[in-house]
Amino acid sequence: MSTIRRVIVTGATGMIGRTLCRKLTERGYQVVVFSRSPEAARRTVPGASEYVAWAPGEPGAWASAVDGAYGIVHLAGASIAGQRWDAAYKQEILGSRVKGTRGIVSAIERARNRPEVLVCSSGIDYYGDKGDTPIDESAAPGNGFISQVCIAWEREAQRAETFGVRTSMMRTGIVLDKHDGALAKLLLPFQLFVGGPVLPGTQWWSWIHLDDVIGMLLLALENPAASGPFNTTAPEPERNRDFSAILGRVMGRPALLPTPGFALELILGEMAIPLLIEKQRALPKKAIELGYQFAYPRLEAALRATLG
């Protein structure tokens, strides 16, 4: 194997993928971007050594790129919050993850020089709604739609272990981003001075700053002791009412007007339940045990950095 480690990244054009590719390049890795549209990826994620046409599913011509790679970071999948859920989009959410991961692992199986590590995205929605119970990576899965997606997703990724490839599943919480996800959906009401908690407000939000998402992905990629599921969350989750109060303070806005959960369901549909209402008090036990040092362990500093 070359002294320059080659790392394949799927989902590279997303928020996490773009930042990860830049960080990998800075660390001296040779980054190979797998994308359905290599030319679009070249514009969105400049600086990679190669852009390979990739389609989720069984291995195609792209599979040869897996041979000899040091590792694969698999982030691809249809956005959970991309649109209102109907039966077709729910199938796309599930299929994009299962088929894509199955294809990656099948390519690993066929490679003569298999990668050392597969890091696969997942989510803390794996656990379902656990109420006030603190949960680490040993907690049981839930029964809802997104829980079942995460279970199927991780099951496909774990097949790589049977081929001698160290495998980590990153159960990511609410990534603080002002353009996408749960935080983005809260910003407009606060900007209009009508922000407040999402009722009931007592639900736990397990959040994480983007810098720490990248840090934990690198931990999983580089640390030989890192395997299995990882709660990719900050060490201090907040109840939604406290999250809202801190957000209001950071934005210089009141946080007094609550938003009923049923109203969000009317606006967002079924996705509102796992995205904003049912949450988990997830703790990053395994990352802490491996010595990971959080850049943003507390919410206020993380929000100030995110919102500028």
* 196 is a domain residue: no
- 45 pLDDT exceeds 70? yes
Q: Rounded mean pLDDT of 164-191?
A: 90
CATH number at residue 25: 3.40.50.720
pLDDT tens readout for residues 194-210 = 888 888 889 999 999 99
pLDDT of residue 271: 58
Q: Rounded mean pLDDT of 268-287?
A: 76
Joined tokens for residue 190: 């606060």
* 114 is a domain residue: yes
- 35 pLDDT exceeds 90? yes
* 265 is a domain residue: no
pLDDT tens readout for residues 107-136 = 999 999 999 999 999 999 999 999 899 999
How many domains does one find in the chain?
1
pLDDT of residue 1: 39
Tell me the residue range of the domain where 13 lies.
6-174+207-234+283-294
pLDDT of residue 134: 96
Q: Give the residue among 163, 56, 77, 73 at the shortest CA–CA distance from 118.
A: 73
- 258 pLDDT exceeds 90? no
* 21 is a domain residue: yes
Q: Rounded mean pLDDT of 218-236?
A: 98
* 27 is a domain residue: yes
* 276 is a domain residue: no
- 269 pLDDT exceeds 70? no
DSSP string, the chain: --SSPEEEEESTTSHHHHHHHHHHHHTT-EEEEEES-HHHHHHHSTT-SEEEE--SSS--GGGGGGTT-SEEEE-----TTSS---HHHHHHHHHHHHHHHHHHHHHHHH-SS--SEEEEEEEGGGG---TT-EE-TTSPP--SHHHHHHHHHHHHHHGGGGGT-EEEEEEE-EE--SSSHHHHHHHHHHHTT----BTT--SEE-EE-HHHHHHHHHHHHH-TT--EEEEES-SS-EEHHHHHHHHHHHHT------B-HHHHHHHHGGGHIIIIIS--EE--HHHHHTT---S--SHHHHHHHHH-
Question: Taking the mean position of all CA atoms in its chain, how far away is CA 102?
Answer: 18
Mean pLDDT lowest among 57-61, 116-120, 138-142, 289-293: 57-61
pLDDT band at 85 (very low <50, low <70, confident <90, very high): confident
Chain mean pLDDT for the chain: 91
* 217 is a domain residue: yes
- More confident position, 61 or 72: 72
pLDDT band at 264 (very low <50, low <70, confident <90, very high): low
pLDDT band at 268 (very low <50, low <70, confident <90, very high): low
Q: Rounded mean pLDDT of 288-295?
A: 98
